[in-house]
Amino acid sequence: MGVLICAAAILLTGAIPAAAEEAGSAREEAAGPGADTAQTENGYTQEEQEFIGTLGVLRVGYVPGRIPISFQNGSGELDGVSRRVFDRIAELSGLQFDYVELPDGPVTYDYLMDGGFDLVTSVEFNRENQNARGILISQPYLSGKKVIVGQSDLEFDSAKNLKIAVATGSQTLRKVLNQQFPNFEIVDYVNIEACFDAVDKREADLLILNQYVAEHWLARPRYENLKVIPLLGIEDELCFSAVTPIEGDEEAIARGQKIVDVLNKAIARLTEDELTGYVIEETMENPYRYSGSDFLYRYRYSIAIVGAVFLAACVLAFFIIRFYLKTSDDRAKTRARGEFLSAMSHEIRTPLNGLIGLNYLMNQNLDNREKMADYLHQSTVTARYLLTLVSDILEMSRLQGHEMTVEQKPYSLRSVIGEIETAERPRMEDKKITFCVDAEIPYPEVVGDESHVGQVLKKLTDNACKFTPEGGSVTVTVRQRLTEEQRIQNCVEVRDTGCGMSEEFQKKIFDSFTQERSTVSKGNEGTGLGLAISYLLAHMMGGDLRVSSRQGEGSCFTFEFVTDPAKPVSEYVPEAVTAESLPEDGDTAEEIPERKISVLVAEDNELNAEILVEILESEGFRVAHAEDGRKAVELFAASEPGEFDFILMDLLMPVMDGFEAARRIRRMDRPDAKYVTIYACTANAFKEDRDRAFESGMDDFITKPVDVEKLLSRLRS
């Protein structure tokens, strides 16, 4: 006959007196009518004392993993409130115990008998249920209530058909649940951890267990989405069960009953203060301690970003080193190669060293939230610097290899200057720098490479902000003139009142990995590639970039480039505000309820998709996710016209890539297929990838890692 033994943790503040009260009557019950009343000093009769002397060491089975009730400590021994109670019972009775861990899952009667077990501890007390099954149990030594654990959005309703996760073998709990909630579906899991995982993954709706055990498990970061709901009406009592034959062997059954009687007398002598002390001590001494896996889970996104940047830097460094080793075939090139590799090694190793050091500090301070927040902030800043370095090195490689081309497309120079001003002004204001843009642009529509012009201007203003101290000023001056050939000569000056530079350093300012180190510039270290890239871009566009500076007074960078007009010169007129463009007095705009912007994210990488969806949803967007290009096409086709405002399309995906997906969406016979905004969202940042994206019908190009603030700005514009 199989007997399932469940070791469930049981405890609740304020409920301990119930155990003591139950045990109070155990003394009389254990003695029984007509028992020998001649007792020894420890409260047992002479007959009981002699019986205890014949027992030897009792073999006790326990189920671990129920902190603070019963668990296995670092020495592999039973620990927790149950061990405290056992030690006290041994002191009161003279009994000796050997504790043996029981396996997960159901523990059968045959397993216990064959293993020579005398007792099982932490058994759920239910007199009616145990008597019906013929099992000998002691009086409860601790009692309390159970609680519900469910998802944070769970609304408990006993009338619903909910699914309950139960540790396999908990027959007493199963019977109580069937009585109180007959409509609930009970599902067995191998242990408490499996029950928590089932609820966390929504395979089950809830689980029911002891309050203190629940609080210990919920301290794990992986269960941050779960919560405790008090559940009244289900008692949670802890007792011992004697392992004896169910029937047939009367002598063995009598021995088991005598052991239970001895235990009951000891339980009756346990005081409320003792039990409360055990609970408090075990709870305070055994709080949940974060492990390395907990740290990795809680900060998984930051670690993934840092790891990806680290890997990208290593791979990129390998290819760049390989490239320079192959192309350096004479002494001058060898010397240049050595200088380049030395500088690059320094620039890559420095932030990597910082990341490794920060990782060590984070492991040493897992419980210090203030320090962890600071270390993560520093890691993010360092990772961003490393990403900028990787991008700059890649761009330098393409420029020096003559792999970049100059586009000739119409664009607005006035718009480019406006975007630079909008982007830089917040940074200037943060440093209390006076920022002024003086732009006279009579010929705003020009033909040229908008991206490269904007890139040079951005790097120049970034540089000016970096090296200008608080209270200084940065001025951007833009002038245009018409040449005899009816072309437009553009001149942009970026002047600052920063630290300036020596005449000697000005001679090599546009070399790779150069930055003058001084007490003024200290703390403004950068990649040393920004000005070199700007210089190469300016000359690639047929322009020029030069500098004039005096140390301690500031610098002026002059960027000159020639463009063709986008229309006949005679058609250029100054932009002006007309009376018709101004609202009349009293005019008010009717308030229209704001509609959530809807975004379809096509991304096959699970982590990237999870991060992007969570960011967008937290910012108030409605988001749908497609794991490949075909799914994106299907979701768009099944949507209502105008339902999606934007599509963020990864390019390299299984089943169907982003290029083909964009083409199929654009070919659909519905009006929104023509105007829905599709952004290529990919790590492929080369010109050929951009060209393919535009040819397939995409509107713009967003490179990974995604600048979240810029992305949100685009989606809201």
Interval 14-36: pLDDT, tens = 333 344 344 444 434 444 444 44
The answer on 537 and 414 residing in a single domain is yes
**Contact in structure between 558 and 545 (CB atoms under 8 Å):** yes
**DSSP element (H, E) containing 198:** helix 192-200
Any domain includes 221 = yes
pLDDT on residue 40:
59
Integer-rounded Cα Rg, in Å, for the chain is: 38
CATH number, domain containing residue 25: 3.40.190.10
E-strand stretches of 361-444: 409-412, 434-439
**Structure-token match 């063995």, residue found:** 252
**Encoded tokens for 446:** 């020009």
Region 311-332: mean pLDDT is: 65
pLDDT on residue 596:
85
Neighbours of 472 (CB within 10 A): 19
Q: How far apart are CA 495 and CA 556, in angstroms?
A: 4
Residue 68 phi/psi, 5-degree rounding, is -100, 15
Confidence of residue 13 (pLDDT cuts 50, 70, 90): very low
622 versus 249: the higher-pLDDT residue is 622
The answer on 625 and 709 residing in a single domain is yes
Residue 292's contacts (CB-CB under 8 Å, 6 or more residues apart) are 363
Q: How far apart are CA 199 and CA 206, in angstroms?
A: 6
Q: What percent of the chain is helix, strand and coil (3-state, nearest 5)?
A: 45, 20, 35
Q: Is the pLDDT of residue 6 over 50?
A: no
Interval 414-438: pLDDT, tens = 999 988 888 888 889 988 999 999 9
What sign for the dihedral angle of Cα 519, 522, 525, 531?
Answer: negative
Q: Is the pLDDT of residue 410 over 70?
A: yes
Q: What domain range includes position 391? A: 292-400
Identify any residues that bridge with 128 across adjacent strands, giving them in sequence order. Answer: none
pLDDT on residue 524:
46
Residue 334's contacts (CB-CB under 8 Å, 6 or more residues apart) are 328
Q: Which amino acid is at 330?
A: D
Q: Is the pLDDT of residue 520 over 50?
A: no
Residue at which a domain ends, from 523, 545, 576:
576
pLDDT on residue 600:
95
Region 224-235: mean pLDDT is: 75
pLDDT on residue 349:
66
Q: Quote the mean pLDDT of the chain.
A: 78
pLDDT on residue 639:
92
- Report the candidate in 160, 166, 167, 212 with the shortest Cα–Cα distance to residue 184: 160
The answer on 120 and 22 residing in a single domain is yes
The answer on 92 and 80 residing in a single domain is yes
Interval 146-193: pLDDT, tens = 888 988 888 777 778 888 888 766 666 777 777 778 888 888 888 888
Interval 81-100: pLDDT, tens = 888 898 999 999 899 999 99
The answer on 353 and 343 residing in a single domain is yes
CATH number, domain containing residue 612: 3.40.50.2300
Any domain includes 581 = no
Interval 604-658: pLDDT, tens = 888 788 888 988 998 899 999 999 999 999 999 999 999 999 999 998 888 899 9
Distances (CA, A) of 645 to 596, 661, 696: 10, 16, 18
pLDDT on residue 677:
93
Q: How far apart are CA 266 and CA 92, in angstroms?
A: 6
Interval 460-470: pLDDT, tens = 998 899 889 98
Least confident range from 259-268, 362-371, 510-519, 529-538: namely 510-519
The answer on 329 and 200 residing in a single domain is no
**Contact in structure between 62 and 51 (CB atoms under 8 Å):** no
Any domain includes 478 = yes
How much of the chain, in percent, has pLDDT values that exceed 70?
Answer: 75
The answer on 621 and 642 residing in a single domain is yes
pLDDT on residue 30:
43
Any domain includes 605 = yes
pLDDT on residue 12:
30
**Structure-token match 């005679």, residue found:** 570
Long-range interactions of 21-26: CB distance < 8 A, separation 24+: 22/139, 22/140, 22/143, 22/237, 23/139, 23/140, 23/141, 23/264, 23/267, 23/268, 23/270, 24/268, 25/139, 25/268, 26/138, 26/139, 26/264, 26/265, 26/267, 26/268
- Report the candidate in 313, 298, 293, 297 with the shortest Cα–Cα distance to residue 356: 313
The answer on 505 and 465 residing in a single domain is yes
**Encoded tokens for 81:** 């409130």
The answer on 205 and 137 residing in a single domain is no
Any domain includes 7 = no
Q: How far apart are CA 563 and CA 560, in angstroms?
A: 10
How much of the chain, in percent, has pLDDT values that exceed 90?
Answer: 21
Any domain includes 463 = yes
The answer on 553 and 459 residing in a single domain is yes
The answer on 339 and 243 residing in a single domain is no
The answer on 243 and 127 residing in a single domain is yes
Q: Where are the alpha helices (DSSP H) in 140-180?
A: 171-180
Any domain includes 592 = no
CATH number, domain containing residue 477: 3.30.565.10
Any domain includes 4 = no
Region 678-690: mean pLDDT is: 78
Least confident range from 63-67, 256-260, 302-306, 707-711: namely 302-306
pLDDT on residue 327:
59
Least confident range from 403-412, 474-483, 611-620, 691-700: namely 403-412
Region 129-152: mean pLDDT is: 76
E-strand stretches of 142-284: 142-151, 163-167, 185-189, 206-210, 226-242
> Based on the structure, what is the number of domains in the chain?
5
